[in-house]
Amino acid sequence: MQNKRRYTIVAIAVAVLFLFSVILTVGVDTDWGRVEVTHMVVTTADGDEVNCLLYKPSTATPENPAPCVLLAHGGNDMMEQCTSYALELARRGYVCISRDAMGNHNSDIPTGTAETATVEAAGYRPSGLDAVLHQVRLYNFVDQNKIVAIGHSLGGTNTIALSIKHQQGIFLSINLGQNMYGREWNQDYNFNYDVIIGIADESCLAHSDPQNYTINSLETVQLRRIFFGDYTTPDEELPMIELGKVYTAVGTDGKEYHRTAFQPDSTHAYYLCTNDAVQTVVYAITSECGLGLDAGVNSYADHGKIHTVWQWHDVGYFLIYVSVIAIMFVVAFGLINSRVFADLRLNKPAQPLGIPKKNPLWWIFAIVLAAVPMLLYKPGVIASTGKWLGIPVRGLWLCGGNSNGFITWQWYVSLAMIAIFLIYHFVWGRRHGGSLHAYGLATSNEKGFHIHYVLKALAFGLLTVGAGYLAFMTASAYTKGGIHIGTFMMSTVSPKRTLAIFMYFLFQIPYFLLGNLAFRSVGLTEFEDSRKGTIKSIALGTLLTVGVIFVFWAYFVIQLSTTHMLTPYFLADRMYIYGILALPLVLGMSVANALNLYVSKKTNSLWTGLFTALLFGTWVIICCGEITKYVYW
């Protein structure tokens, strides 16, 4: 009775947390009712769908049309990346539209060239922005003379393509994290133009010449010509661009346009987590458009006075994720203790198989288990773009590069885990009762393989992860989108990614299966059957699976943010990207492995934990980012 009461209290607490997280996210997003947030779909000239979020402040009316900001996320990302900017601008009176690029998240893979043909003078493609701009032209609550296009990283190539293509229709074009300006021979920039590059921008640090020289991105000859409107002076005689200074250049149409360069205290991927960068974006737009500039802000020197609330929105995102995780654990506990799934709980082995902690071997295995994921991180993630153990794997992928890097990392770790398990088996396990049952591979307390047990374990995983997915769907129905925490993304899964669900489920089987077996060496599933034992098991499991990778990520971010430089390790093999991407790997795989260990510990079988982890791992890997193809041909 006491356990039932405790379970009820926990379930109620989780429900309250979930409700609070949704209210906080929606409240900040909508400026507590003063901004209407709508999910919408626009169609390209080819008939492809472009997924969008529209922020419409109550002050934007036909009688009082508002400036409109079109936001373009970076590569292999989703429209929610831009919410921190959108909500800040919307509460200042701007209509904002963020879209998923073509093939990203829930926008279609392009079937024609309407959004993929490069704009000749830009050398880049709009990737859905043309269709969005066409939709904006229909809005009578938008000031058609004040349309702003702002793009982060790869999104900057999309916005500059849009701006050059529609020069008379774009009031201000802003690049974040890139000095995108189109073809060097082009001289048509008949719009206001800003460049914002963080002082610790890892992408610019890696691509500058010399490397680790971010300001080089603002010293290119073509950019200086654009800023000064001078296309005849010899390169060496052109002055350098001063940060924060508003330049005026005469366009080819004879009109004057402003150009400004900013360098906030931020990195490339962390615009959404750096207040200085968000304040810079707000200042750049409000100062140029003349609407919504905070009191007391008279120049860029005052931009630190700009009041922002986006951090609370990110807290809401994080709490949604935490509550979804908690819901899955609550449901898993309830299912395990229900009559329907009672037969999934098998008998414990006759004797513990894990090496005792007092034995030096335990520490050897623990250190190796913790070190292997980090040691194999670099070779694992970079293998996705070439060959894995000499085998070309690029043809296997349905999703974009980041997801595939995580898969090849899992494969490398899997090879190490089977080696660790075999060493443990021959050194310790078989002398202490090691068997299929003892290692969690049994499907019954009796001998033999029972397919109904495996199917029931799969049903358990579907119900557990399905409960979390249903909760997330409910949250998304109110927030109108997914969540974006740093570089971690999560959303509901488009039905068009059905084959990707199946394939990436299969791709991850070795990692979760062999990892579970290797964990037997340190007895992770053998801690006492109590709350304390469960917490210890999950905590140690998290440390051994991704703990060192989290330390690696924290070191990279701190080192980059404080020194504003990349070490040789991060300059090579695009590790400046994978250093940042360690965060979503940690956030996703730590939960999947925790579910794996928790359920395996409760059932004394790895089957139920395996399916639960696989389903969650597949969800977080394939739900967002780019998809390159829906089916194999």
**What is the DSSP code string of 66-114?**
EEEEEEE--TT--GGGGHHHHHHHHTTT-EEEEEPPTTBTTSPPPSSST
Between CA 503 and CA 391 the distance in angstroms is 18
**Mean pLDDT, the chain, integer:** 95
**Does the pLDDT value for residue 145 go beyond 90?**
yes
Q: How confident is the model over 450-459, as a mean pLDDT?
A: 96
**Residue ranges of the chain that CATH labels 3.40.50.1820:** 31-308
Number of neighbours of residue 633 by Cβ within 10 angstroms: 4
Both tokens of 434, joined, read: 């090691």
List, for residues 507-559, the tens digit of each pLDDT value.
Answer: 999 999 999 999 999 999 888 777 788 889 999 999 999 999 999 999 999 99
Task: Report the DSSP beta bridge partners of residue 399.
Answer: 627
pLDDT for 75:
93
**Does the pLDDT value for residue 21 go beyond 80?**
yes
Q: Kindly list the distances between the CA atom of residue 170 and the CA atoms of 162, 190, 226, in Å, as whole numbers in the listed order.
A: 8, 9, 16
Give residue 446's pLDDT band: very low, low, confident or very high (50, 70, 90).
confident
Q: Which is nearest to 389 in space by CA: 365, 412, 364, 366? A: 412
Minimum mean pLDDT range among 185-189, 237-241, 523-527: 523-527
Q: How confident is the model over 370-374, as a mean pLDDT?
A: 98
- Environment class of 565 (CB within 10 Å of its CB; exposed 0-12, middle 13-18, buried 19+): middle
Four-CA torsion 548, 552, 557, 560, nearest 10 degrees: 160
Q: What single string gives the DSSP state of each residue in 228-246?
A: HT-SSS-GGGSPPPPTT--
More confident residue, 210 or 242: 242
pTM: 0.96
Minimum mean pLDDT range among 209-213, 339-343, 459-463, 573-577: 209-213
Minimum mean pLDDT range among 255-259, 440-444, 504-508: 440-444
Between CA 601 and CA 350 the distance in angstroms is 15
List, for residues 49-82, the tens digit of each pLDDT value.
Answer: 999 999 999 999 999 999 999 999 999 999 999 9
Q: How confident is the model over 420-437, as a mean pLDDT?
A: 93
**Does the pLDDT value for residue 1 go beyond 90?**
no
Domain at 31-308: CATH code: 3.40.50.1820
**Does the pLDDT value for residue 13 go beyond 80?**
yes
pLDDT for 14:
98
| Percentage of the chain lying above the pLDDT 70 cut | 99
Say which DSSP state 366 is in: H
Q: How confident is the model over 590-618, as a mean pLDDT?
A: 96
Q: How confident is the model over 260-288, as a mean pLDDT?
A: 92
pLDDT for 390:
86
Region of residue 128 (phi > 0: left; psi between -120 and 50: alpha; otherwise: beta): left
Q: How confident is the model over 559-574, as a mean pLDDT?
A: 95
Q: Judge whether 267 and 561 are in contact, CB under 8 Å.
A: yes
- List % helix, strand, coil for the chain (3-state, nearest 5): 55, 15, 35
Minimum mean pLDDT range among 78-92, 317-331, 375-389: 375-389
Those residues with Cβ within 8 angstroms of residue 300's Cβ, 6 or more apart along the chain or in another chain: 244, 260, 262, 280, 283, 287
**Does the pLDDT value for residue 2 go beyond 90?**
no
pLDDT for 272:
63
CA–chain centroid gap for 89, Å, is: 22
Number of H helices, E strands in the chain: 20, 13
Q: What angle do CA 549, 81, 94 make, to 5 degrees?
A: 155
**Does the pLDDT value for residue 251 go beyond 80?**
yes
List, for residues 280-298, the tens digit of each pLDDT value.
Answer: 999 999 999 999 999 999 9
